Structure 1
Amino acid sequence: MTIVEPHCTPVAREAAAPPAQWPDVAAPPAASPLRTAVTAAVVRRALERLPLQVRFAGGHSAGRGGPLLEVRDPKRFHGRIGASGLIGFGESYMAGEWDAPDLVAALTVLATHAAELIPPSLQRLRGLWAPRQPGARRNTPEGARANISHHYDLSNDLFALFLDDTLTYSSAVFRGFPTRRDLLAAAQHRKIDRLLDLAGAGEGTRLLEIGTGYGELAIRAAARGARVTSLTLSREQRALALERAREAGVADRVRVDLCDYREARGTYDAVVSVEMIEAVGEEFWPVHFRTLDARLAPGGRAALQAITMPHDRMPASRTTHTWIQKYVFPGGLLPSAEAVEQHVRDHTRLTVARRDGFGAHYAETLRLWRERFTERADEVAALGFDETFRRLWTFSLAYSEAGFRSGCLDVQQYLLTKENAAR
């Protein structure tokens, strides 16, 4: 399927970004002519070895054949990458300086070969050229509220345009591939039910949910007879989750608190958290896991769903500021499966009893979201989101899908158990 602009033409295009809202997209950060020239040489050398078909305005081409990537403004494209690395690559897409008829396919090639794109000599000097994490995005209690609001308080109506009727914003679990969009809600319920089964949620269970989303898991747990306390930092999500719980007839069993996980009190038979650890930040992972331990009663069970990266990529990722962090999930960092297990072992009395990976299911979930977002672009615009924002979200969904399709990303469900000291 063509994602955006199926008939790309190799001509430069002016950035459509309003300078006040998108300053670094409208006016690229300056890179010296020498740095731009060196970047162009490094980029073209890397592309020559890839199974891509890259066309530069002016007639130059690169690659060994494969998905098409068209660079409409090579000077700005190389200048942005030279000035800010992969942040510049994403901003160049937002500005319309490059495009691809099959964006996911092109990004999947780049993700698959990510380790080969930068020469070893430049990798060793990464600290000199890679953008550093901004201190202002630390996930302190105050910083976490700002970071979460940046993404999740955009607009409930926006998320409703591309999510399914359950409004579930995390990976589904499918029976097979490819799937139809009308089966996405059932696949989301399958995922939720697996987590609730892992947690042992049922009649009378005291359940703590860390990260409410739009309330579907809390509603489904309450329908089983559990009494749910759910925590969120998003005012938009809290309001809609409470409304949906009332409509489902379970408001008496669902409580949604505007509360940081570090502020939670009490003990619970079960804890469930779905794709929330990605927003915690490595600095606070020990606190996060100690909180799970403190809130879980002896004999209790915690079910977590987490997006993970390969462990060997964490050293570079922990200090580098990325495009996703700048524009989509500020303060976020993916753990590796090994890091999760290490923190459980070193900071809690919990045991990792089970871990299941299902990255291919996330790729399929993202495909369905991306196609729906693309089809409803006019409705996104009607909500007040400009062309640069729409390209940002198209790139984000495609970039994430490519990560799972290439195997650079995975998603796990964990069962953590706590021994009952009385036994």
Structure 2
Amino acid sequence: MTLTPTRPAWPGLDTVPGGARTAVSARVARGLYRSAVRRLGLPDDAVTIHRPDEFFARLGRDGLIGFGEAYLTGAWDAEDLTGFLTALASHVADLVPGPLQRLRPLVLRGTPSHHRPSQDHTRELIAHHYDLSNDLFRLFLDESMTYSSALFDGTTDLHEAQLRKIDRLLDATGVGAGTRVLEIGTGWGELAIRAAGRGATVRSITLSTEQQALARGRIAAAGLADRVDVELCDYRDVTGSYDAVLSVEMVEAVGWEYWTTYFRTLDRVLAPGGRVGLQAILMPHDRMLATRGSYTWINKYVFPGGFLPSAQAIDEITGRHTSLRVVDRLAFGADYAETLRRWDDAFLARREDVLALGFDETFLRMWHFYLCYSRAGFASGYLDVQQLTLAREA
């Protein structure tokens, strides 16, 4: 499907924060930034601050949201953006002194009510990202249109690595001829195609109308429309009984308030003897607790309502509220850093094509920052991605 995207609005970026409060917070931010750069041992030319007054005003007033917004406006640049962000991510827990960290709830904004992924808001939140333009995602994804971490495991080919990731999850959950599969979060259909190619029948649910349309087209082109049904459906409303329940990088969009509901849903629809296969981006448990309920640059510009769980949180929720237990896990965070590098290189190489779709220069900087920001999390080891297999206790 070819879309004509609505050009994103950038409210607030054309106005630099001002006033007495900003002046004070900017002075604090300037001192904290200089101290952090010294402690990290970064070279003087690691970052070029073009407009210092704006940079520190945004950083002081809005923290990491302001830091990212100052990049969007061009107030600062870094020749090696990922390298700079990786250095910051490596010390994210101690960049700000402990006494000041305790003031975080008083200074930073919490998640706006319309960004909470309740049933009333979830479709709108999903559309913010996934309905941007199928053609945009085609520009930087591989031909499988897979928008999650690849599993390289010795290969250097991104497409092969994406298929390897999917096949490992299908193998772990025993998907084969006659298997009844539920997929929560369709993407653009590759997992459903490969499951149906094994002889499974697949019900795949999504809240993205554009993903649904393209996935249905790809499934039909593969000659598998009789085996796969792609529906617009909230995970909370799913019914039926399935031998395998699969969900790739979906739990991150659920919201921490709804993790229990999500895992109870998996438990409810899993048939006796069945298995759940998840791929999840994870953060350290202590940082998850410290940042829960916060409003981040990623929330504002990329994934509204999203929040990453920890491995411990998944274990605790499934242990307390479901009959499911993690029986196998594979961690491959370094592969996500490489996947994101491939996506960013492809995105930058198609700059003119992105502009031709109707996106602007600010969007180019925003998307590049998002990919580098994410890559830095995995390259530093702060973030991980894991495939988890869950089954009921014997």
Q: TM-score range by the shorter chain?
A: over 0.9
Note the 1:92-131 alignment, pairs <5 A: 92-131=70-109
Taking the aligned partners of 1:52 and 1:127, their CA distance within structure 2 comes to 29
User: Aligned residues: percent identity?
Assistant: 57
- Alpha-carbon distance between aligned partners in 2 of 1:210 and 1:160, rounded to the nearest angstrom: 22
Residue of 124, 145, 151 corresponding to 1:173? 151
Distance 1:88 1:79 in 2: 8
Residue 188 of structure 1 pairs with residue 162 of structure 2: yes
Please say if 1:161 is aligned against 2:139: yes
Letter in 1 for 2:198: R
Query: Partner letter of residue 28 of structure 2?
Result: V
Query: How big is each residue's C-alpha offset from its partner over 1:86-134, in whole Å with a ceiling of 9 and x where there is no partner?
Result: 0000000000111111111111001112122111120111111122111
Counterparts in 2 of 1:119-158, with a 5 A limit?
119-158=97-136
Over residues 232-265 of structure 1, what are the superposed CA-to-partner deviations in whole Å (9 max), with x where a residue is unaligned? 0000000000000000011100000100000100
Runs of 5+ unmatched residues, structure 1: 1-18, 56-67
- The 8 Å contact of residues 93 and 287 in structure 2, kept in 1 or not, is answered as no
Which of 228, 237, 240 is the aligned partner of 2:211?
237
Question: Match of 1:266?
Answer: 240
Contact 2:70 2:76 survives alignment (8 Å)? yes
Q: Does 1:394 align with 2:368?
A: yes
Q: Distance in 1 between matches of 2:381 and 2:339?
A: 15
Distance 1:345 1:104 in 2: 37
State the alpha-carbon separation in 2 of the partners of residues 88 and 71 from structure 1. 14
CA contact (8 A) 1:168 1:216 kept: yes
- The match for 1:324 is 298
Shift of 1:34: 1.9
Alignment partner of 1:148: what SS?
helix
How far the C-alpha of 1:320 sits from its partner, in A, is 1.4
1:212 match: 186
One-letter amino acid of the counterpart of residue 356, structure 2: A
Question: Is contact 2:175–2:195 with CA below 8 Å preserved after alignment?
Answer: yes
Could you say which residue in structure 2 is the equivalent of 1:254?
Answer: 228
Higher relative contact order (CA 8 A, sep 6+): 2
Distance 2:142 2:359 in 1: 20
> Greater CA deviation, 321-330 or 106-115?
106-115
> 379, 388, 391: which one pairs with 1:414?
388
Runs of 4 or more, structure 1, over 6 Å off, are none
State which of 49, 60, 69 in structure 2 corresponds to 1:71.
49
SS in 1 for 2:13: helix
- TM-score scaled to structure 1, two decimals? 0.89
Q: Given residue 191 of structure 2, which amino acid in structure 1 is its aligned partner?
A: L
Q: Distance in 2 between matches of 1:115 and 1:261?
A: 34
Tell me, yes or no, if the aligned pair for 1:297 and 1:418 is still in contact at 8 Å: no
| Equivalent position to 1:84, from 53, 62, 69 | 62
- Contact in 1 for aligned 2:279/2:386 (Cα 8 Å): yes
For 1:46 and 1:121, the matched residues in 2 are separated by 15
Give the drift of 1:54.
3.8
Which runs of structure 2 are paired with 1:307-386 in the superposition (5 Å)? 307-386=281-360
* Maintained 8 Å contact 1:299/1:419: no
Deviation of 1:206 (Å): 0.3
In 2, the alpha carbon distance for the partners of 1:231 and 1:341 equals: 25
Moved more, 122-131 or 88-97: 122-131
- CA deviation map 1:12-37 (0-9, x unaligned): xxxxxxx9921222213335322211
Task: Note if contact 2:178-2:201 (Cα within 8 Å) is conserved in structure 1.
Answer: yes
How many residue pairs get aligned? The number is 386
Paired residue secondary structure (2:93): helix
CA 1:20–1:185: 2 relative to 1, 3 Å:
closer
Alignment of 1:276-287 (within 5 A): 276-287=250-261
CA shift, 1:136, in A, is 1.4
Amino acid in structure 2 at the alignment position of 1:166: S
TM-score normalized with structure 2 length? 0.96
Equivalent residue of 1:32, what SS? Answer: helix
Answer yes or no: is 1:24 the counterpart of 2:12: yes
CA distance in 2, matches of 1:249, 1:29: 55
Determine the structure 2 residue equivalent to 1:36: 26
Task: Indicate the SS of the match to 1:228.
Answer: strand
- Cα offset for 1:139? 0.8
Alpha-carbon deviation of 1:419? 5.0
Contact 2:134–2:211 (Cα < 8 Å) also in 1: yes
The answer (yes or no) to whether the contact 2:142–2:158 under 8 Å persists in 1 is yes
Please give the alpha-carbon distance, in whole angstroms, between the structure 2 residues aligned to 1:317 and 1:400: 17
- CA RMSD, Structure 1 to Structure 2 (Å): 1.4
Counterpart CA distance in 2 for 1:189 and 1:73 is 45
**What are the Cα deviations for residues 33-59 of structure 1, in whole angstroms up to 9, with x where unaligned?**
22211221121122121131245xxxx
C-alpha distance in 2 between matches for 1:46 and 1:87? 17
